[in-house]
Chains A and B, each alone.
Chain A
Amino acid sequence: MKIIVLLKRVPDTEARILINQEGTGIREDDIKFVINPYDEYAIEEGLRLKEKVGGDSKVTVVCIGSEESAELIRTALAMGADDAVHVCDPALKKPGPFTSGAILAKVLQDEGFDIVFCGKQAIDDDMAQVQAITAEILDIPQVNVAVVFEISDDHSSAVLNRRIEGGDERVETKLPVIISCEKGLNEPRYASLPGIMKAKKKEIRKKTLADLGFDSAPGGGRSEILKWFPLPKGGECKMVEAEEIKDAAAELVKLLREEAKVL
């Protein structure tokens, strides 16, 4: 079985995010990058499926990203993925969801696949569109926000639970399919040291847009990010202090009128 896992490099959840001066992105100097946490569930589910199905099953990681992404691809390989495709092209600065979808669809077609796992969304821009767009281009089913995944005995279909508001929804799908993974699907493994050592020798096939047959970034011209800007600073807490309750109330009313301007 050919299993593909999509991976994205995102700022660490604990990183202090600051927008750069031009509003074109975030300041990256003091930031650590990690594998998108939801993608970790995807990697783990891909590996578990491989272990379950056995035979000549293979897990391939596909990542669109800068040179620095290679380090995180290695982490996925250390966890147990077999090889990887790294789409890395200077023309791909910040690919939008249509661009990523078009590229991924091409890679998936080239690689061939039975099942694709990815995170339900990347925690950087929270768009949650790439898996849908990729599935639409390939004209295959997609099941999103999966918390349970069970493959059928003949490996031709799968039953999944999707986490929806207030409950789970059980769905059945034919393969090939794209599945986006939610927290709770599994507990991603910690790469063992032999895994880390082996990963150093595993193949990462680097592809440019030209390698994939694109002259320029595909899927453009649909939507575009204009500007990034930080949230206005949250108001500061002010304690009203007075000897008498009624003086405090008067002061509070005054503040609400004059400073907060809500009355």
Chain B
Amino acid sequence: MFQKGDRMTVQGMILLIVFATVLIAFGFILRLLVRLLMVGKPENRFDRWVERVNSVVVFVGAQARVLTQLAGLGHFIIFWGFIFITLGTMEHILGMIIPGFGFEVIIGRTADGILSLLLDIFGLLVIVAIIISLVRRFFFNPVRLRIDDPKAKREAVLILGLISVLILLMYGIRGTEILMKPGHIPVAHAPVSHYVSGLMNGWDMNLSMANMIFAWIHHLIVFFFLIYVPFSKHIHILGAIPNVFFRNLGSAGTLSRMDFEDESAEKFGISEIGEFTWKQLLDLYACTECGRCQAVCPAFLTDKPLSPYRVIHRLRGHLMSERERLLSKGDGSGASDAPQIVPDTTTEDEIWACTTCGACMQECPPFIEHVQKFVDLRRYLVLTESRFPAEMQPVFKNMEVNYNPWALGYSTRADWALDIDLPIAADKGSFDILFWVGCSGSFDSRGQRIARAMAELLRRAGVDFAILGVEEKCCGETARRMGNEYLAQMLIESNIETLRKYKFERIVTICPHGYNSLKVEYPQFGFEAKVIHHSELLLELVKSGKLEAPSYEGLNGVYHDSCYLGRYNGILDEPRDLLRSVTGLRLMEFDRRGKKSFCCGAGGGRMWMEETLGRRINEDRVDESLSKGAEKIFTACPFCVTMFEDGLKARERDDVEVLDIAEIMLGNQAAEP
């Protein structure tokens, strides 16, 4: 690449030394970051390469999740601007070091011209985007950018400010170059720079000196960036792309399976940073603190202490400050003096505030997996420390002894169906549909009404079905999300043993929690079956003409998507299509609906816990439905029904009725005997 007769200048030599030093330092920083990841426990994210590459194209290249909000356009511009500008910077630095170097030599004049044009235009766009971003951040204070750590805010300003300065300097460099070497860069390749050079034309200055000063300041800032970025939130420049690549391609509704084989184990769950998997640590590098998670988090929005990204932010800070200890000990865990994540980095109140609704993970542009971390921390508190909110203990004990969260005798599980004489699996042996009633349907008087409605509909449609009766146990979903993996696995394994005794085509549930559990978590334990939600089955029966949709005179209501049905499992259209099949029913929609639905507050075991911090989630959601003027609230989850009914009671609105889709499909005949 050296052209004959050219010699490296002194300036080039100095730059080479500084650049090489910075590159070596940057190399060490990268090595540190990778070594810190390696402290994490193994996790297999090395399958399905095609899908992974595709994810990067869609979610990094096309910024698909970033662009779901208008503000994301700013990021899109800054991201692509950053790519082009970095290329231009590289070219310039190498050009200063290697006389005569230019991309033109490598990629040809046309491509170089296009690159130059992109660089020139994006520079301007980035400045506009940054100005809008700063105005937005400081004058509009959007929910998602509210953070309690003032350092985080300073960091954001520093970075955005420096990027602006860098771009101004870039135009300065190019502008002076245009003036120094007229005709060297055509207007078509650098319209903005030409405009800038026009502005500078009248200035009284030594062009080559100015060019050199601009270049040096510019490059030194770039070098500062290389060293500073990995220790700031802008580490996401390094972390986000691999994080998208290694994202969870399976169901987001599946928690990791714990292994209890090792009876000498003294510790279960996670209490120290080094106990996370490498992927969970990579998540920490990927967070930009955009706060989209916070803006949708039911805990945060009801003034509880939890904000998903603040936890991630503090965990990253913790990982960085613990780096020497982690690396010196190899695996870094187990030392008695090792700092505990709870309460050193995050509080119990935060960890227990999570409803596991998954809204944070649905929003997160680099696919950070928050819920698994919260559950891992819960697992430690519950399994190892036996430390959890007092009201959870009877729930665990009830599940252990009577296989349901209520303190009700297990032998009464099928009592709800005593007078309607339902077919029992043990008597039938084989049947088409196994109706998984669930704890709510079996024991809660409100849930029983839904179960009875469903049983009646199955009968009407002539479905060959059976219930497990007293053989059915709690599906384990709630225990699992409360961190009691041991109890959850006992229930899951016992249920699997029961399920294996019978022959059936499909399992239908009236509860999205049981649905998610049986569908995406039971396969972890070797049980695979076709699991459908009652909205799917009822729609199928209506479509095939086996079930007649009822008609009403003016039934107006708003449909609420349950998290584990809609967001986690994508069952969005079925319940709506079913409701649309009903004559005289006017379906209304929440603003926050579908995959962006707002949790009722019952998930993650919160159903069984006191809600003493902030406002009540269910009441916020009820207010939202009341503001829509809904006369009824429709849902497809017995826990949502309970939460809405409680919320309506609190608002003294007994004129508004909450109905499960099965109850609506029943028509005006009461489900009660």
Report which A residues bind B (CB closer than 8 A).
12-16, 30-32, 34, 187, 189-197, 200
Q: Which residues of A contact B397 (CB under 8 A)?
A: 190
A193 contacts B384, C-beta separation under 8 Å: yes
CB distance from A127 to the nearest CB of B (A): 23
Q: Contacts A14-B408, A195-B386 hold; do A34 and B263 have CB atoms under 8 A apart?
A: no
B402 contacts A190, C-beta separation under 8 Å: no
Q: Which residues of A contact B410 (CB under 8 A)?
A: 14, 32
Q: Contacts A32-B401, A32-B410 hold; do A190 and B393 have CB atoms under 8 A apart?
A: yes
Stretch at the interface among B265-273, B609-617, B628-636: B265-273
Residue of B nearest to A189 (CB): B386
Q: Which residues of B contact A34 (CB under 8 A)?
A: 401
- Please name 8 further chain A to chain B contacts, defined as beta carbons within 8 Å, in addition to the given A30-B470, A193-B265, sorted by A numbering: A15-B411, A16-B411, A31-B411, A32-B410, A187-B393, A191-B386, A194-B265, A194-B267
A193 contacts B263, C-beta separation under 8 Å: no
Q: Which of A30, A187, A195, A197 contacts B263 (CB 8 A)?
A: A197
Q: Which of B265, B402, B412 contacts A197 (CB 8 A)?
A: B265
State the 3 A-B residue pairs at the shortest beta-carbon distance, nearest first: A14-B409, A192-B386, A193-B383
Q: Contacts A14-B402, A31-B411 hold; do A197 and B264 have CB atoms under 8 A apart?
A: yes
Residue of A nearest to B396 (CB): A190
A14 and B400 alpha carbons, distance in the complex (Å): 13
Q: Which residues of B contact A30 (CB under 8 A)?
A: 411, 470
CB distance from A51 to the nearest CB of B (A): 14
Q: Which residues of A contact B386 (CB under 8 A)?
A: 189-192, 195
Q: Which of A13, A189, A194 contacts B384 (CB 8 A)?
A: A194
Residue of A nearest to B393 (CB): A190
A16 contacts B409, C-beta separation under 8 Å: yes
12 inter-chain pairs at a CB distance below 8 angstroms, sorted by A residue, are A13-B407, A14-B410, A16-B411, A16-B412, A190-B397, A191-B386, A193-B383, A193-B384, A193-B486, A194-B268, A195-B386, A197-B265
A47 and B578 alpha carbons, distance in the complex (Å): 57
CB 8 Å contact bits of B338-370 with A (1 = contact, 0 = none): 000000000000000000000000000000000
A22 and B390 alpha carbons, distance in the complex (Å): 43
CB 8 Å contact bits of B257-295 with A (1 = contact, 0 = none): 000100111111000000000000000000000000000
Q: Interface residue tally of chain B, by bracket?
A: 20 to 34
A12 contacts B402, C-beta separation under 8 Å: yes
A192 contacts B401, C-beta separation under 8 Å: no
Q: Which residues of B contact A200 (CB under 8 A)?
A: 263
A187 contacts B409, C-beta separation under 8 Å: no
A15 and B388 alpha carbons, distance in the complex (Å): 27
Interface of A is mostly: loop
A31 and B408 alpha carbons, distance in the complex (Å): 12
CB 8 Å contact bits of B372-392 with A (1 = contact, 0 = none): 000000000001111010100
CB distance from B405 to the nearest CB of A (A): 12
A31 and B401 alpha carbons, distance in the complex (Å): 10
- Pick from A189, A197, A200 the residue with the most CB of B within 10 Å: A197
A193 and B266 alpha carbons, distance in the complex (Å): 8
Q: Which residues of A contact B263 (CB under 8 A)?
A: 197, 200
CB 8 Å contact bits of B433-458 with A (1 = contact, 0 = none): 00000000000000000000000000
B402 contacts A192, C-beta separation under 8 Å: no
B402 contacts A32, C-beta separation under 8 Å: yes
CB distance from B493 to the nearest CB of A (A): 16
B486 contacts A187, C-beta separation under 8 Å: no
Q: Which residues of A contact B407 (CB under 8 A)?
A: 13-14
Q: Which residues of B contact A15 (CB under 8 A)?
A: 409, 411
A194 and B375 alpha carbons, distance in the complex (Å): 18
CB distance from B38 to the nearest CB of A (A): 27
Q: Which residues of A contact B264 (CB under 8 A)?
A: 197
CB 8 Å contact bits of B212-223 with A (1 = contact, 0 = none): 000000000000
A30 and B402 alpha carbons, distance in the complex (Å): 11
CB distance from A78 to the nearest CB of B (A): 10
CB distance from A81 to the nearest CB of B (A): 15
Q: Which residues of B contact A14 (CB under 8 A)?
A: 401-402, 407-410
Residue of B nearest to A11 (CB): B409
Residue of B nearest to A17 (CB): B409
A187 and B391 alpha carbons, distance in the complex (Å): 11
CB distance from A69 to the nearest CB of B (A): 15
Residue of A nearest to B263 (CB): A197
Q: Which residues of B contact A195 (CB under 8 A)?
A: 386
Q: Contacts A34-B401, A193-B486, A197-B264 hold; do A12 and B396 have CB atoms under 8 A apart?
A: no
- Pick from A12, A191, A193 the residue with the most CB of B within 10 Å: A193
B411 contacts A192, C-beta separation under 8 Å: no
CB distance from B342 to the nearest CB of A (A): 15
CB distance from B266 to the nearest CB of A (A): 5
A186 and B470 alpha carbons, distance in the complex (Å): 34
Q: Which residues of A contact B393 (CB under 8 A)?
A: 187, 190
Q: Which residues of B contact A12 (CB under 8 A)?
A: 401-402, 409
Q: Which residues of A contact B408 (CB under 8 A)?
A: 14
Q: Which residues of B contact A187 (CB under 8 A)?
A: 390, 393
Q: Which of B385, B390, B412 contacts A192 (CB 8 A)?
A: B385
CB distance from A20 to the nearest CB of B (A): 16
A70 and B386 alpha carbons, distance in the complex (Å): 23
